[in-house]
Structure formats: structure tokens, C-alpha cells
């Protein structure tokens, strides 16, 4: 199978950005992000509503240009550590042809080829001083007429919520449904959480997740937890005091088996880092369209985990960690310039075990983001994908995505550990390894 790039151009806003909007200040959490792209690929069946691929591509480019007048920072470039120059340099837009049918590609999904559907290498950490496009798009045409839209989103400005808001706007314009536009708020994040110097912040707090800056040769595997498996995991994790969510039971189950795989050759302490979206916990105005990396880590220590550990115990540890992330906590971060130096923050960041060089498992949920609803005029996507292949990447990361069948877990680990996981009989009782996508 071959994937050939047939065109590459730059899409700029259809209307130049006004002088008063030329500089966007980043927020505290933006400047903490690695200079890396996170990927997303949306697969769509052949559409009969548009005449052909050239028609689809033309409408996507025109609507993208219009959407960039609303999400204008995406057409800019980072000008220094704390801001983006909204200079209308534009978004990279590529087209590619795929020499196979989508049905062949997805039964089962050819994970090792997914990165070729993306416009650049995802998740590679670039130096902070390297100036990169905020967004790159690659529209891939399969022989059957199906389309896969691959996006690489620079994490400096966008988190998954912000990316979803942009996609909803772009695709609403594309299909002529402007009432569905998700209007962005670019000011609230930076005004409420301005960047602060971290000079003097205790080293243990900054180093707790330092392994997340280390790139290893890692492989990504896709596992499906179907509705039946999730129901059974919930029944194993529920009692009068504990009524867990789908995310809590699936992530706890995965963390147990990842630790079993890793501990084959490592004895360092284990920490699970769960990325939490602050918006719902903060309430308005943050719950309505605020763009930025409004993310905070819930860190929990996972001690003495082995193949006999009960999932309900790990669920309770996770719930206790999540309970600490309240609106009052985030108001302290917002209102107290010294909070990052405080004992309370040090305790949340597990400063005490930093010297033991813990191994971090990083969990992110893309559930309820609306990615599986975005329709540019030919229906909802039949599948969402992340990335594949073996590349240098941050090890021990998990992204959970909602599907029609249940929850998909995209797990990235060093090859020797992912091999143990994918042959773990107890894990595979609940997790289906890369099943077919129903067309």
C-alpha cells in the first residue's frame, strides 16, 4: 500500500486579523506544555452529497480559511515563551492518495501505517525555541472514495477540548450550519492564570513527572473495552461506598496491568498521572468555550500493585486523588501567586517521593469531547484514530476515546513492555486487541 502526497499549500484566514488581536497571551498552563503535536485522524465513508474528492477538498479549504478568522491564533506562530503572534502565516493543508480501499485498511486497522495519514510526526518533542505551525492538516483519499482527515495540533495552545471546539466551527462552516459554530474565548485563560516564573519552586515539584520529557522507542497498541466488558469491570469495582465511572474502572484496570508489565524489570515506585480538565470544575466562564490548556494533574501513588491486586482498591485510590481537585483548589491557583511554592501544592505533586525517581503512567480521556459528532457534510466519522508505528515518544501514556462499541484505549509503551501487555491473558479477558472497524 502506498500513501502519496499530491499537494501542499498554506491556508490563511479569509479576512486579515485585526491589529488589536495581533498578540495572544498564553496562560500559565500553556507555557508548561511540551512543544509537541498531538494527533487525531477522522475517518469518513464516501459521500454522495458532494461530487468528488476535489469538491470535498475545495469546500474544506474554503471553510478552513473562514474558520481561521474566528480561531485566528491557529494561523499564527509563537513569537516568544509567553505569547503567539497572530500574523496570519496560516495552516499547512496537504492532500494525499491512499492506494487501497478504506474497508481493507480498517479490517483490522493498519496501526503501523496510521502516521502516514498525518501531516507530520506526532508527539515528537521539539525545542521550545523552535517556531512551528499551530496546525497541520492532511486530507487522505482512499480508492473507494472514503476520506481520512489527519490533524496535528500544537499542544502549546490547544488541548483536546480546544481542538474539538475548532473542529466543530470548521465543519459547521463547511456544511453551512453556522448556528453550530463553537465561539472561542481566547482571553479568560491568560487573564485568570497568567504565566509565572517558576524560579524558586522546589525541585521535587518540577521533577515529579520528569520521565514525561524522556523519549524512548515506543509502540502504540489499540484495545477496545466493549460495553459488556465495562459493565463487568464496574460490577467488580462497585460497593455501597464506591460507585465508579466508566473512566475510573477502565483506567484503573489498565494501570494494574501496565504496572505488571513494567515491573518485569523495574522496581522504582509507580505513579499514575490523570490529566483533568479544569473547565467543569471551575464553572463559568471556563465551561463555555475557553481555549487553552486548562489541565491539571491528579497524581496518585500505586504501591505494591501485582496481578492479584483488586481493581476496586485502585479505583478508590483514584477517586481519592480526583476528590482533591476542587474549584476551591483552582481558585487558589488563580488568586494566590505563591500557591505553586506552597506545601499544599507540594503535597498534591507528591514532592516527597520525587527523589525515588518514580515511573509515571499518564492517562488522558477524550470522552464527551464531541469528536465522534463532527460532520463536514458527509455524516459523522465512522472511526477516530490516534497514531501508530514505533517512534521516539513519551513512554507509558494512555488515551481513552469513546466509541459506539465502548471505550478504546490507545496505549503507548516501550516495545518490550507492550509485548508483555498484549500477551497478558487476564488483560485480554476484557480488552480486545485491535478489532475490526465496522464500515
Catalytic site positions: 155, 375
Half-sphere exposure in the Cβ direction for 344 (13 Å, CA): 11
CA end-to-end distance (rounded Å), the chain: 20
Cell of 246: 466508566
Distance between CA 434 and CA 381 in Å, rounded?
Answer: 18
Distance between CA 339 and CA 342 in Å, rounded?
Answer: 5
Contact 223, 434 (CB under 8 A): yes
Contact 400, 221 (CB under 8 A): no
Cell of 237: 469495582
Q: Where are the alpha helices (DSSP H) in 18-159?
A: 28-31, 53-70, 102-105
Beta bridge partners of 154: 37
SS3 assignment, position 408: strand
Distance between CA 286 and CA 338 in Å, rounded?
Answer: 22
Please report, for residues 208, 232, 388, 426, the alpha-carbon distance to residue 413 in angstroms, rounded to integers and kept in the order given.
19, 26, 12, 18
- Count Cβ atoms within 10 A of the Cβ of residue 264 and give its class: 0-12 exposed, 13-18 middle, 19 or more buried: exposed
Amino acid at each position: 500500500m502506498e500513501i502519496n502526497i499530491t499537494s501542499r499549500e498554506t491556508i490563511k484566514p479569509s479576512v486579515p486579523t485585526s491589529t488589536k488581536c495581533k498578540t495572544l497571551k498564553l496562560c500559565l498552563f500553556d507555557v508548561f506544555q511540551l512543544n509537541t503535536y498531538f494527533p487525531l485522524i477522522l475517518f469518513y465513508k464516501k459521500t454522495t452529497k458532494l461530487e468528488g474528492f476535489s469538491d470535498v477538498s475545495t469546500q474544506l479549504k474554503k471553510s478552513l480559511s473562514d474558520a481561521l478568522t474566528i480561531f485566528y491564533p491557529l494561523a499564527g506562530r509563537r513569537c516568544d515563551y509567553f505569547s503567539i503572534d497572530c500574523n496570519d502565516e496560516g495552516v499547512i493543508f496537504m492532500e494525499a492518495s491512499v492506494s487501497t480501499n478504506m474497508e481493507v485498511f480498517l479490517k483490522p486497522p493498519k496501526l503501523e501505517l496510521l502516521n502516514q495519514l498525518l501531516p507530520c510526526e506526532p508527539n515528537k518533542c521539539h525545542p521550545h525555541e523552535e517556531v512551528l505551525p499551530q496546525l497541520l492538516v492532511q486530507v487522505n483519499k482512499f480508492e473507494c472514495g472514503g476520506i481520512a482527515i489527519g490533524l496535528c495540533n500544537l499542544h502549546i495552545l490547544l488541548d483536546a477540548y480546544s481542538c474539538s471546539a475548532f473542529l466543530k466551527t470548521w465543519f459547521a462552516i463547511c456544511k453551512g450550519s453556522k448556528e453550530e459554530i463553537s465561539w472561542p474565548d481566547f482571553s479568560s485563560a491568560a487573564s485568570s492564570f497568567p504565566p509565572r516564573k517558576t524560579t524558586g519552586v522546589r525541585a521535587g515539584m518540577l521533577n515529579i513527572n520528569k520521565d514525561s520529557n524522556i523519549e524512548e522507542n515506543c509502540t502504540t497498541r489499540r484495545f477496545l473495552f466493549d460495553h459488556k466488558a465495562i459493565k463487568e469491570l464496574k460490577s467488580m469495582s462497585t460497593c455501597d461506598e464506591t460507585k465508579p465511572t466508566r473512566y475510573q474502572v477502565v483506567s484503573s484496570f489498565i494501570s494494574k496491568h501496565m504496572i505488571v508489565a513494567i515491573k518485569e524489570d523495574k522496581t522504582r515506585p509507580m505513579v499514575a498521572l490523570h490529566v483533568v480538565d479544569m473547565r467543569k470544575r471551575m464553572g463559568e466562564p471556563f465551561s463555555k468555550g475557553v481555549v487553552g490548556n486548562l489541565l491539571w494533574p491528579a497524581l496518585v501513588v500505586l504501591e505494591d500493585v501485582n496481578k492479584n491486586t483488586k481493581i476496586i482498591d485502585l479505583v478508590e485510590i483514584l477517586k481519592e486523588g480526583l476528590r482533591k481537585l476542587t474549584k476551591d483548589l483552582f481558585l487558589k491557583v488563580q488568586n494566590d501567586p505563591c500557591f505553586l511554592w506552597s506545601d499544599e501544592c507540594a503535597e498534591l505533586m507528591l514532592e516527597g517521593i520525587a527523589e525515588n525517581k518514580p515511573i509515571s503512567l499518564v492517562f488522558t480521556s477524550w470522552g464527551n469531547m464531541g469528536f465522534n459528532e463532527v460532520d463536514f457534510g458527509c455524516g459523522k466519522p465512522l472511526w477516530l484514530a490516534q497514531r501508530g508505528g514505533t517512534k521516539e515518544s513519551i513512554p507509558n501514556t494512555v488515551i481513552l476515546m469513546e466509541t459506539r462499541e465502548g471505550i478504546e484505549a490507545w496505549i503507548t509503551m516501550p516495545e518490550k513492555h507492550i509485548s508483555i501487555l498484549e500477551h497478558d491473558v487476564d488483560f485480554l479477558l476484557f480488552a480486545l486487541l485491535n478489532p475490526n472497524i465496522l464500515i
